Amino acid sequence: MPLVSMDGPYIDGGELRVDGIRIIPAQRTAPVLRTLGHGRATHGAHPGKAAGRLFPPYRQD
């Protein structure tokens, strides 16, 4: 599933879908990635844990 993380204005309802692409607020990126793959066999490190290590914490200015 394609996923876009967007930094900017609040999204009503918490996320959007455009042409099958899921668009989420930047501050929800790691939690959403953690939910992907639940109930499915995964290989290697979980993507949410990797995102938590790779991306800086979200800071709202």
Task: Tell me, yes or no, whether 29 lies in a domain.
Answer: yes
List strand residue ranges (DSSP E) for the chain, in order.
3-6, 16-18, 21-25
Task: Tell me, yes or no, whether 16 lies in a domain.
Answer: yes
Residue 26: pLDDT band by 50, 70, 90 thresholds? confident
5-24 pLDDT, tens digit per residue, is 888 777 777 788 889 888 98
Find the mean pLDDT for residues 29-40: 77
Q: Whole-model pTM above 0.75?
A: no
28 vs 8: CA distance, rounded Å: 12
Structural domain count, the chain:
1
Find the mean pLDDT for residues 22-42: 78
Task: Tell me, yes or no, whether 59 lies in a domain.
Answer: no
Task: Tell me, yes or no, whether 60 lies in a domain.
Answer: no
Find the mean pLDDT for residues 32-49: 69
User: Which domain, by its residues, includes 17?
Assistant: 3-54
Task: Tell me, yes or no, whether 24 lies in a domain.
Answer: yes
